[in-house]
Structure 1
Amino acid sequence: MAIPGTRTRVGKYEIGKTLGEGSFAKVKYAKNTETGDSVAIKIIDRDRVLRHKILSQIKREISTMKLIKHPNVLKLIEVMASKTKIYIVLEYVGGGELFDKIAKLGRLKEDEARRYFQQLINAVDYCHSRGMYHRDLKPENLLLDSFGVLKVSDFGLSAFSQQIREDVLLHTACGTPNYVAPEVLTDKGYDGTATNIWSCGVILFVLMAGYLPFDEPNHMALKAFKNLVLQVFLIF
């Protein structure tokens, strides 16, 4: 238990306010006491991770982010651990989620939407060139810094191929239903590059229109509608 009036520290980082909270982790603002730099620390409960068998997902997120160095991808600074917690130290991005901006303003102006979309495509293209597929691209996973620079985050569902080959198909159905390509929801396999580009297209639609192109009342209706759209695309 912390002594009143003292600040919690993890290594050289002084922990501050909570920036976000999920089922398995909290994200806290922190400051590097040696340099004065602001960071965000994702604090993960080891017991919950083991109980829900998502350790492989955490390891995947860490290993992927270690490999990716790009101005439009959230930077991983370091990883620490205790007996009960895993601490992932990340670049601090103070502008919030792109989702929040859309929710507040509705559709964005064309120039602004174009700027965010170009940054997103630059990051996605960089990842693809290294055989990495995000698989959960959506406005909630796109952060903005104080200068409006977009940062792709949350690589927990990513897939990484050591050998990039055109005939490699992925088979794990994952992602957020409104943003995933229809073939992801089948058991026939899918191309990681093509399905990420589909998600980027949905994001562009949301930026320009202010609402989702696919927003059916239930999962089965959403899947059926997406399959219909895919069939139309194949005809033309």
Structure 2
Amino acid sequence: SKVGKYLLGKTLGEGWNSKVKIAIDTETNKQYAMKIMYTDDAKDQEDFDLRLFLILMSNEVQRLQKLPTHPNIIQLVDYNWEAKLVQKSGIEKDVLTVVLELAKGGDLFNYIFAINKGFSEPIARYYFIQLINAIEFMHNNNVVHRDLKLENLLLDDNYNLKIADFGLSTTVESSYGGGVMYTRVGTERYMPPEMLEKNAYIGICADLFAAGVILFVLVMGMMPTHKSAESNDYL
């Protein structure tokens, strides 16, 4: 199958009427990761909110366009809201596509799951330093991620960390990315108590809380708690 100049390879992941596939640029022979949303199929499903998915994809593109290049943040390569996927049979499907840097090393969650324990202290420190550097860079550019978790921390060919999945990220107007927010988004086990309690929260603080949870998992190999609360012993 092909989408424009990209030849599609194996599937890296699947979701609601969407897939992430390896995409080979036929002009340069470079490999990328392509997020593909099948809009033809989605139109036939009453329970599928196509507009929401489009908002998330569009949001990710806007944030990555805003951010300057950083070695620990996944890079946007290309996108197309009116693409055609041409199957081997010649059948065409309407799709939305976002092309990203390919992180061949997978995500940190799978490594922790595979060894069923935490990393050694030097390895945990190595990845946490890269994570904090990338978070500081995002915040200095007035972007907060709001869904930092092990599944969104990918590794490249050299096993360097790459923050990915900016669909729930947002921008803030303050000078250090810490504006007050009210929208409860993200993954519960990485949320600070104020988000879980549906109170106002500071974007930068939510990212830093999630980073603390990630550090705990990197070292201990397990989550600190099912849900955060002010009374939790670990928090």
Q: TM-score range by the shorter chain?
A: 0.7 to 0.9
* Structure 1 letter corresponding to 2:151: E
Gaps of 5+ in 2: 85-93
**Change over 3 Å in CA distance of 1:85–1:199 after alignment to 2:** same
Judge conservation of contact 1:97–1:142 (CA < 8 Å) in 2: yes
Q: CA deviation at 1:23?
A: 1.6
Q: CA deviation at 1:59?
A: 1.4
Moved more, 140-149 or 81-90: 81-90
Q: CA deviation at 1:11?
A: 1.5
* Local SS of the residue matching 2:98: strand
* Structure 2 letter corresponding to 1:13: Y
Deviations 1:50-78 (CA, angstroms, capped at 9, x unpaired): 94131322211110011122110111101
Judge conservation of contact 2:142–2:177 (CA < 8 Å) in 1: no
* Partner in structure 2 of residue 76 of structure 1: 76
* Partner in structure 2 of residue 88 of structure 1: 98
Greater RCO structure (CA 8 Å; 6+ sep): 2
Q: TM-score, normalised on structure 1?
A: 0.85
Judge conservation of contact 2:141–2:177 (CA < 8 Å) in 1: no
Q: CA deviation at 1:183?
A: 0.8
* Structure 1 letter corresponding to 2:153: L
Q: TM-score, normalised on structure 2?
A: 0.86
Judge conservation of contact 2:57–2:98 (CA < 8 Å) in 1: no
CA distance, structure 2, for counterparts of residue 33 and residue 98 of structure 1 = 30
CA distance, structure 2, for counterparts of residue 60 and residue 115 of structure 1 = 30
Moved more, 83-92 or 69-78: 83-92
* Partner in structure 2 of residue 66 of structure 1: 65
Q: CA deviation at 1:187?
A: 3.3
CA distance, structure 1, for counterparts of residue 133 and residue 178 of structure 2 = 24
CA distance, structure 1, for counterparts of residue 66 and residue 178 of structure 2 = 23
* Structure 2 letter corresponding to 1:154: D
* Partner in structure 2 of residue 114 of structure 1: 125
Deviations 1:112-140 (CA, angstroms, capped at 9, x unpaired): 11111011111111000111110010000
Tell me which of 129, 132, 146 is aligned to 2:157.
146
CA distance, structure 2, for counterparts of residue 82 and residue 169 of structure 1 = 37
Percent same amino acid at aligned positions?
A: 39
* Partner in structure 2 of residue 35 of structure 1: 28
Higher strand share: 2
* Local SS of the residue matching 1:26: strand
CA distance, structure 2, for counterparts of residue 211 and residue 65 of structure 1 = 30
CA distance, structure 2, for counterparts of residue 148 and residue 173 of structure 1 = 32
TM alignment of 1:174-213, pairs within 5 A: 174-213=185-224
* Partner in structure 2 of residue 4 of structure 1: none
Superposition CA RMSD, Å: 2.1
Gaps of 5+ in 1: 1-7, 216-221
* Local SS of the residue matching 2:181: coil
Tell me which of 131, 139, 143 is aligned to 1:128.
139
Judge conservation of contact 1:173–1:186 (CA < 8 Å) in 2: no
Q: CA deviation at 1:207?
A: 0.3
Q: CA deviation at 1:24?
A: 3.9
Moved more, 204-213 or 182-191: 182-191
Number of residue pairs aligned between Structure 1 and Structure 2: 217
CA distance, structure 2, for counterparts of residue 85 and residue 25 of structure 1 = 9
* Structure 2 letter corresponding to 1:195: A
* Structure 2 letter corresponding to 1:174: V
CA distance, structure 2, for counterparts of residue 176 and residue 205 of structure 1 = 16
Higher helix share: 1
Tell me which of 16, 19, 29 is aligned to 1:26.
19
Q: Is 1:104 equivalent to 2:114 in the alignment?
A: yes
